[in-house]
């Protein structure tokens, strides 16, 4: 038994035969040509053929992974037609009298190297796209075809890396999992794997390919990122049990997918998902979340060695909004501080960091950082239904200061001729007792409230949630916390504003009935809890004398 570890980009378990994906790359040799005009004509014909192929792949992807994910092949078509790329190729043919295949390969190497050298992880991943389209053009020039897409049985595909077009063209019904030596979670292949609901592990390392022989029994665990070759009886049994449990959860999904989040007596509630990165969108969609109730934008900062720029943030927010296809997406602005630290912010040492410069306080203290994020958010707003919420609010004056910066960000975009939406909802997190107590004054200023129960509990009970010694004192169901939530809900509804809960308590199904009784309109939970909360909601009957619906009856609803 041999174990390799990479990064899981889609959580599921696959057990089956491993097969090494082998592509028949056209051999590119430098040749001298006299008639450069004829060579350029060959290039043009090959590019037309490549574009036709990409249109065919786009249509296939459209039906399998949806419009947002199929767009990569539209982008590939635009890359084929890119003036800079083509000028580089044609210039090489004319100046060096070389064949088109060689010119395409060299130009692609140069462009790929340029992308790979960039600091932005998203742009680095575009190097793979350049290589993909150049290989396609070269194959069209040499009239060669790609191998590896014809599968005769269900297998775990092992590869150095996979181009997006190779991923889509593989027979989905015969692919148990993808395991690659390289790749990144930002790559379109990883995105497509998640969209196609196929277990995927990336970054296993090149050594694993030499260890794989076609037909070897293997386990691909997309949850842990483990790839096991020739597993022993114990590992195989454990994987089979894990796979069985996962499939049982998916059976529950099939029973509840598409069902309304409605109580027996007709009260409807939204159930959204909390996510920390764009890579979690697939999990939210698979679990049938009605939207994204909390996108933790601070992870963009925590995973970076420097302040993420406007363009980088814009691409991430745009991707989330497009992928959710019109469903509401609520993005929390930067929430750095306390237990979430990034060295490059150079925050001074604080005696009580949980009570210090954090959340919106930091944003207002460093408005240029905040404006960069706000511009990126408003730019992305035209691609979906966006809500922005601000953390760590304690006063109305903070809201007014925030709105002034929102207006400034929009003015800057307008001056630059950049489009943004005027239909962005602006809300605040209720995380401090102060915000809850003055919620009657805050409600008229905002579009919605979202209760962050983790911090609300901490601040209400004066219990550091990072301190394990205080666990017995930190009663998450404390009457004071429940009263603050109910009080805030009443004030929200008095001013005709909606209120949600995005903290850990939202997933506590022992409180679901109490929250609905309070008038909570939305519960936002980890994607894996969406269906569990939906089931709890559908069992509730708030009519007097109503009995609880049992699980068997629920399955038939």
Assess whether pLDDT exceeds 90 at residue 465. Answer: no
CA distances from 452 to 183, 354, 429, 431, 441 (A): 35, 14, 6, 5, 19
Which pairing describes strands 13-20 and 217-221: parallel, antiparallel, or unpaired? antiparallel
* Distance (Å, whole) CA 253 – CA 258: 9
H or E element at residue 89: helix 83-96
Q: Tell me which of 127 and 218 has the higher pLDDT.
A: 218
| Residue in the block written with tokens 């959204």 | 272
Q: At what angle do helices 188-195 and 36-80 cross, to 10 degrees?
A: 50
**pLDDT given for residue 141 in this prediction:** 86
Q: What is the mean pLDDT of residues 216-243?
A: 94
| Residue in the block written with tokens 């296939």 | 60
Strand order in the sheet with 217-221: 2-5, 226-229, 217-221, 13-20, 155-159, 175-180, 200-202, 7-10
CA distances from 97 to 40, 80, 94, 220, 359 (A): 11, 22, 5, 49, 60
In the three-class reduction of DSSP (H, G, I as helix; E, B as strand; rest coil), residue 332 is classed as strand
**pLDDT given for residue 255 in this prediction:** 85
Fold for domain 252-555?
TIM Barrel (3.20.20)
Q: Tell me which of 9 and 4 has the higher pLDDT.
A: 4
Please report, for the chain, the start and end positions of each structural domain, with discontinuous segments joined by +: 2-23+148-235, 36-142, 252-555
> Which CATH number does 36-142 carry?
1.10.274.10
**pLDDT given for residue 198 in this prediction:** 82
**pLDDT given for residue 150 in this prediction:** 61
The percentage of the chain sitting over the pLDDT mark of 90, rounded to a whole number, equals 54
Assess whether pLDDT exceeds 60 at residue 328. Answer: yes
Assess whether pLDDT exceeds 50 at residue 75. Answer: yes
The model's confidence at residue 470, banded by pLDDT at 50, 70 and 90, is confident
Q: Tell me which of 529 and 126 has the higher pLDDT.
A: 529
The model's confidence at residue 553, banded by pLDDT at 50, 70 and 90, is very low
Exposure class string for 462-489: b at 16+ Cβ within 10 A, else e: ebebeeeeeeeebebeeeebbebbbbbb
The model's confidence at residue 518, banded by pLDDT at 50, 70 and 90, is very high
- Three-state SS annotation for 355-399: HCCCCHHHHHHCHHHHHHHHHHHHHHHHHCEEEEEECCCCCHHHH
Assess whether pLDDT exceeds 90 at residue 386. Answer: yes
Q: What is the DSSP letter of 98?
A: B
Note whether 50 and 142 are within 8 A (CB).
no
**pLDDT given for residue 129 in this prediction:** 84
**pLDDT given for residue 550 in this prediction:** 46
Assess whether pLDDT exceeds 70 at residue 195. Answer: no
In this structure, of 351-355, 445-449, 516-520, the range with the lowest mean pLDDT score is 351-355
**Closest Cα partner for 214 from 158, 138, 132?**
158
**pLDDT given for residue 551 in this prediction:** 44
The model's confidence at residue 491, banded by pLDDT at 50, 70 and 90, is very high
Q: What is the pLDDT of residues 36-50, one digit of tens each?
A: 999 999 999 999 999
The model's confidence at residue 313, banded by pLDDT at 50, 70 and 90, is very high
Q: What is the mean pLDDT of residues 83-90?
A: 92
The percentage of the chain sitting over the pLDDT mark of 70, rounded to a whole number, equals 88
Question: Any bridge partners for residue 272, and if so which?
Answer: 524
Query: Which one is catalytic: 76, 140, 188, 406?
Result: 188
**pLDDT given for residue 307 in this prediction:** 87
502 part of the active site: yes
- Other C-beta atoms closer than 10 Å to the C-beta of 418 total 14
Domain 2-23+148-235 indexed as CATH 3.50.30.10: yes
Assess whether pLDDT exceeds 90 at residue 354. Answer: no
The model's confidence at residue 342, banded by pLDDT at 50, 70 and 90, is low
**Closest Cα partner for 279 from 249, 256, 303?**
303
- Other C-beta atoms closer than 10 Å to the C-beta of 200 total 33
- Other C-beta atoms closer than 10 Å to the C-beta of 250 total 16
Q: Check the CA dihedral 455-453-323-205 and report its sign.
A: positive
Q: What is the pLDDT of residues 129-159, one digit of tens each?
A: 888 899 889 988 876 444 344 677 899 999 8
Task: Tell me the whole-structure pTM to 2 decimals.
Answer: 0.59
Note whether 183 and 202 are within 8 A (CB).
yes
Q: What is the mean pLDDT of residues 231-260?
A: 88
Q: Tell me which of 369 and 252 has the higher pLDDT.
A: 369
The model's confidence at residue 192, banded by pLDDT at 50, 70 and 90, is low
Assess whether pLDDT exceeds 80 at residue 536. Answer: yes
The model's confidence at residue 350, banded by pLDDT at 50, 70 and 90, is low
Assess whether pLDDT exceeds 90 at residue 127. Answer: no
The model's confidence at residue 535, banded by pLDDT at 50, 70 and 90, is very high
* Distance (Å, whole) CA 82 – CA 78: 6
């Amino acid at each position: 038994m041999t174990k390799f570890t990479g990064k899981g980009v889609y959580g599921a378990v696959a057990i089956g035969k491993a097969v090494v994906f082998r592509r028949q790359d056209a051999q590119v040799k430098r040749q001298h040509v006299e008639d450069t005009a004829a060579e350029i004509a060959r290039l043009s014909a090959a590019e037309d053929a490549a574009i036709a192929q990409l249109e065919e792949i786009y249509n296939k992807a459209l039906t399998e992974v949806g419009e947002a994910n199929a767009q990569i092949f539209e982008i590939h078509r635009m890359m084929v037609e890119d003036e800079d790329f083509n000028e580089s190729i044609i210039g090489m043919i004319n100046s060096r009298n070389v064949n088109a295949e060689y010119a395409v390969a060299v130009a692609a190497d140069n462009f790929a190297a340029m992308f790979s050298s960039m600091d932005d992880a998203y742009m680095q991943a575009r190097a793979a796209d350049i290589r993909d389209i150049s290989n396609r053009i070269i194959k069209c020039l040499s009239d060669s075809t790609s191998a590896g897409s014809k599968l005769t049985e269900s297998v775990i595909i092992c590869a150095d890396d996979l181009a997006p077009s190779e991923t889509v063209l593989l027979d989905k019904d015969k692919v148990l999992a993808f395991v690659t030596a390289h790749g990144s979670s930002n790559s379109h292949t990883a995105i497509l794997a998640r969209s196609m609901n196929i277990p995927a592990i990336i970054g296993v390392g090149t050594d694993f390919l030499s260890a794989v022989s076609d037909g070897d029994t293997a386990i691909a665990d997309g949850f842990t990122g483990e790839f096991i070759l020739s597993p022993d009886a114990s590992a195989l049994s454990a994987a089979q049990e894990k796979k069985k449990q996962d499939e049982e959860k998916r059976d529950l999904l099939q029973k509840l997918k598409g069902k309304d989040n409605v109580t027996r007596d007709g009260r409807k509630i939204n159930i959204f998902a909390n996510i920390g990165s764009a890579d979690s969108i697939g999990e939210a969609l698979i679990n049938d979340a009605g939207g994204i109730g909390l996108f933790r934008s601070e992870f963009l900062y925590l995973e970076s060695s420097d302040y993420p720029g406007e363009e980088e943030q814009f691409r991430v927010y745009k991707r989330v909004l497009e992928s959710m296809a019109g469903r509401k997406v609520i993005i929390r602005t930067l929430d750095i501080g306390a237990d979430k630290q990034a060295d490059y912010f150079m925050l001074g040492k604080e005696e009580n960091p949980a009570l210090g410069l954090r959340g919106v306080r930091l944003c207002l203290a460093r408005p240029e950082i905040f404006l960069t994020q706000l511009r990126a958010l408003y730019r992305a707003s035209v691609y979906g239904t966006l809500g922005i919420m601000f953390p760590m609010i304690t006063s109305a004056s903070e809201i007014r200061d925030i709105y002034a910066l929102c207006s400034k960000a929009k003015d800057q975009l307008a001056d630059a001729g950049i489009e943004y939406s005027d239909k962005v909802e602006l809300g605040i997190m209720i995380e401090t007792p102060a915000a809850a107590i003055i919620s009657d004054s805050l409600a008229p200023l905002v579009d919605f409230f979202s209760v962050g129960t983790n911090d609300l509990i901490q601040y209400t009970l004066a219990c550091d949630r990072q301190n394990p010694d205080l666990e017995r004192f930190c009663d998450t169901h404390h009457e004071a916390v429940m009263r603050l939530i109910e009080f805030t809900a009443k004030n929200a509804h008095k001013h005709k504003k909606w209120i949600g809960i995005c903290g850990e308590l939202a997933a506590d199904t022992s409180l679901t009935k109490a929250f609905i009784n309070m008038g909570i309109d939305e519960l936002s939970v980890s994607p894996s809890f969406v269906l569990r909360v939906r089931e709890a909601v559908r069992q509730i009957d708030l009519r007097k004398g109503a009995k609880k619906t049992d699980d068997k009856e629920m399955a038939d609803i």
